[in-house]
Structures are given as C-alpha cells and as structure tokens.
Structure 1
Amino acid sequence: MDIFDQPLEIVDRAAFRNGMSRLGSAVSVVTTVFGGKRYGFTASAVCSVSDTPATLLVCINRTSSCFPAFDNARHFCVNTLTPGQEEISDVFGGKTPVADRFVFGEWEKGLTGVPVLADASVSFECELTNAIEQATHRVFFGRVINIRENDEKATLFYCRRRYFGG
C-alpha cells in the first residue's frame, strides 16, 4: 500500500489552536465602512501575498458580527498596532458592540473613507480584489493603495496568548 493511499488523521481543534498559539504574529485591527457605519475586528491572520502589485491577505471568521460589512465593502485597512495599544486589540477582538469599538484610539478617514488608526505602526489601505472561502473563514485579498508608516513606534506582537512589544 502506498503512503498516499492511507487515510491521514485530522488534528483535533484544541491541538491545532494550542500549536497556533505558538506562531507569533503582529496584531492588527482591520477596518472598513459599509452603509455609512464603521466596522473593525482584531486579526493576526494577515500576510503579504505579492509586491507586484502590492497585495496582502486577511482572514475573517464568517460568524463575526463584522463579516456582513466586510463581505460587502470594496475597501479595507489593516492597522498594525503598537505596544500600549493592547486595549484597542482587546476591544476589537472581544464582545464589545461594533458601534462602541471606535471610541478607543484616534481614527482618521483614509483615502477611500475607511478608518485608519492615526498612530498605528503601519496601516495598509486596500482595495478588495478577490475573496475565497476556506472552512469557517473567508480570505480577503487586497491590493494596497496607500501605506502610512510610524517610524517612532514598534509593532505589537501576540504569541502564546500574550502580547509582546518593545
């Protein structure tokens, strides 16, 4: 029997989540505007895809309260947080009502009208170019149309269920 003919065991959810908790990543708040209202969620599943054209991806759970807005919006912004902005991450990642989330942080309108965090480490304003379904999530691909960098601030990281920054 060939190794490829043998059924493989699926890793259980708890083991996968524990393993992924060790895969450190930058902490970002992804924002958009839909129907005249601002929406945002905390994400660690953000990745560079290409530099020609400049493209990144972000994953969102389809059960998220923000999902319908992101599913229908043309633009979004990935705002990478800095040390000291842990509360913003917690508010956008928790059960805080969407309307109350933007009380935390100083937000400006980007080129496309999406919320941009004024003192983020870096913000990538994007135009949605593609989206695909994968299990419980949708993966959004965005062509980067504007970047704001903060040379004075480091990036906030999350690993082993804790924040790190310097």
Structure 2
Amino acid sequence: MTQAVVSRAEFRDAMARVCAPVNVITTNGPAGRGGFTATAMCSVTDEPPTLLVCMNSNSAQTGLFLENRRFCVNVLTGDHRDLAGYFAGKQSDMAARYAAADWVDLASGNQALSDAIVSFDCGLREARLVGSHNVMIGEVVEIRARRDGQALLYFDRNFVHVPTPAALTG
C-alpha cells in the first residue's frame, strides 16, 4: 500500500481551519519565571485530572519549563488579545509580559492570570519530544475558574472570540 505524504505547509493550512482556545502557559520555580502562548492544549483524562500542552522545542524557555516541572494553563478571554500577542513573542522581555496583566500566586509557586476564564495549575508528569515540539503532560493540582467572560479563540490564523451563552440571551 502506498502512503500519501502530507507536506508541512498543507498540514499547517489544514490546522489553521481548526478552532482552538488561546492559552497563556506560565511557569515559576527554581529555574525562573516564563510563559508562552499556545493553542495546542487539551484534556487527557479526568482520573487523575490531566491535560497536555505542546511547546516548540526550539523555544529558549524549553529548559525552564522542564526544570521547573510545573506549569499553569490560563485560558484567555477576548479582552486578553494583546496579552496573547505579548506571550507569543511580540514582547521579548519576560518582566514586561507579566507586567501587562494581574497575576495570582498559587500554592505551587506558579502564577495564574487573575481574570482568566479558567486556570489549571499542573505538576509536570511527563515530557516527550515529538517532532518539533515537547508534549508536556501535567497533572492538575489546582483550578481557578470564573463563570463569565468571552473565550478568545484562534481560527484561520486570527484571534476571534465568541460570547458566552449568558451574553447571547441577555
């Protein structure tokens, strides 16, 4: 059987058509504080509560996340569009990235975005290099959530947001 070969460009164009939540992934620990914007995040299992995040292995922060062995997934609202850009690299200075928002200190030492739709504080259980990215598996140790806010999504290489059901009926 002959297997079709999908090009990198073809795959990236197809993935651009998949709508995904925008998240700022943070870490704070012995190796220092860091953060990046990611759409590659999903749940793995609810027993134990576990999720995964993918991070480009060429990122200068890779070692920081792997050494700290913890991270926090902050799901963004439409109001966080600029913050998403900063953590995506439009602002290279980490202190300036963090200064652009309000943060809450968590018991783990991580910091959560104070007005995120939800924040999942995770202990790093496993990291595996797959192609160009590290797949980081985290066990959730704390959750902070709010009931309002419009989710910031990434679709067709653009930030978009959708209103919550309450905003649609109100």
Is 2:9 aligned against 1:14?
yes
CA RMSD of aligned residues (A): 1.3
Paired AA for residue 120 in structure 2: F
User: Do the aligned partners of 2:18 and 2:155 also contact (CA within 8 Å) in 1?
Assistant: yes
Q: Shift of the alpha carbon at 1:95?
A: 4.1
Q: Aligned partners of 1:95 and 1:34: how far apart in 2?
A: 24
1:154 maps to what in 2?
150
**Which of residues 122, 134, 137 is equivalent to 2:133?**
137
User: Do the aligned partners of 2:29 and 2:109 also contact (CA within 8 Å) in 1?
Assistant: no
**Which of residues 38, 41, 50 is equivalent to 2:36?**
41
Q: Map 1:7-86; keep pairs closer than 5 Å.
A: 8-35=3-30, 37-86=32-81
Q: Map 1:81-120; keep pairs closer than 5 Å.
A: 81-97=76-92, 98-120=94-116
User: Do the aligned partners of 2:40 and 2:53 also contact (CA within 8 Å) in 1?
Assistant: yes
Give unmatched runs, 5+ long, in structure 2. 164-170
User: Do the aligned partners of 2:31 and 2:67 also contact (CA within 8 Å) in 1?
Assistant: no
Paired AA for residue 125 in structure 2: T
Q: Shift of the alpha carbon at 1:70?
A: 0.7
Structure 1, residues 26-63: CA drift from partner, whole Å, max 9, x if none?
00000001436320000000010000000000000011
- Count of paired positions: 161
Which SS does the other structure have where 1:85 is aligned? helix
Paired AA for residue 137 in structure 1: H
Which SS does the other structure have where 2:26 is aligned? strand
Greater fraction helix: 2
Structure-1-length-normalised TM-score: 0.92
Paired AA for residue 119 in structure 2: S
Q: Shift of the alpha carbon at 1:159?
A: 0.4
